[in-house]
Amino acid sequence: MPRARRLASTAVVAIFAATGLSACQQSPDVAAYVGGETITQDRVEQIYDQVRDELTTARQQAQQQGEANGASPGAVAPLSMPIKQQDVLNTLLSLDVLRKSAQSHGIKAAAEPTVDQVAQARNYSATWEYTKLYTETYQLRAALQGKVVPAALTEDDLRDVYQRLLAGGAADPGTSFQDFSSQLSAENKTLLETYVGLRNEMKTITADDKVKLNPRYGNQQVTLLSAQAADGKDVPLVVFTFAGDADEAPYVTDVSAVTSLA
């Protein structure tokens, strides 16, 4: 990979829209069904609301303090949420599949990164439940990295990574696929083999899960490995998605009138 930046394992971002369930299970109060279990919208909102409420309180306190010191009422910036409800559901779904993978190997989550480390890196609060769940996705992947069977990289695997690097601005546009393949470092090749292997294992583990999403949460995927582009943005390279069977709707119910969540 000419002048390639080192590939970086990213937080598992999200998961699935998959196979159908019986009509009696359909409900707009459900965020997702996973392997016979239910993730309710109340659960998603509870985690999200903790973040929103704490940040709202902190902003109000800062505004009051500023006004007491003579600052104008608009001196404090408007509330900006660091996460969306989609992120909460993504994390809950990611944990489900990663925990199953870890259980199949008889291992527990790694001790690092710690919640404090992730909180500092992401500018989150270590007290948020979301931060703790999000951190566990890192810890599980760290534990699994040495346990999954590395995959033999196919040309399709490499071409997919190559196209993602180009599209994300993490590779020189003048680099040919042949040059990319021949100049891939041993370290980056090992990372790709490991995370393609993890992706394949996750497909096997979730093959029998009946996963459905409420469409208000949008399309979901799991980013297992990424590279960093010149602008600092993460470029997904190894991604696990669940699209379900072509003849089965992947959603809990039709809520076309419901707008996307903030």
Does a structural domain hold residue 147? yes
Does a structural domain hold residue 38? yes
Does a structural domain hold residue 73? no
Tokens at 28, concatenated: 């707009």
Q: What is the pLDDT of residue 27?
A: 63
Each residue of 99-122: pLDDT tens digit? 999 999 999 999 999 999 999 999
Cβ neighbors of 235 (< 8 A, separation 6 or more) are 164, 165, 167, 168, 169, 170, 226, 227, 228, 229
Does a structural domain hold residue 4? no
Q: What is the pLDDT of residue 253?
A: 39
Could you write out the DSSP letters of every residue in 177-192? HHHHHHH--HHHHHHH
Is residue 180 within 8 Å of 171, Cβ to Cβ? yes
Provide the domain count of the chain.
1
The region, left, alpha or beta by phi > 0 then psi within -120 to 50, assigned to residue 223 is beta
Q: What is the pLDDT of residue 230?
A: 81
Domain that holds residue 184: 23-44+84-240
Does a structural domain hold residue 134? yes
Does a structural domain hold residue 2? no
3-class SS of residue 117: helix
- Where the chain has pLDDT below 70, the residues are 1-27, 242-262
Instruction: List 212's β-bridge partners, or say none.
Output: 33
Q: Are strands 222-228 and 30-34 parallel, antiparallel or unpaired?
A: unpaired
Each residue of 131-154: pLDDT tens digit? 999 999 989 989 998 899 999 999
Does a structural domain hold residue 210? yes
Q: How far apart are CA 175 and CA 132, in angstroms?
A: 40
Q: What is the pLDDT of residue 244?
A: 41
Does a structural domain hold residue 187? yes
Q: DSSP letter at 113? A: S
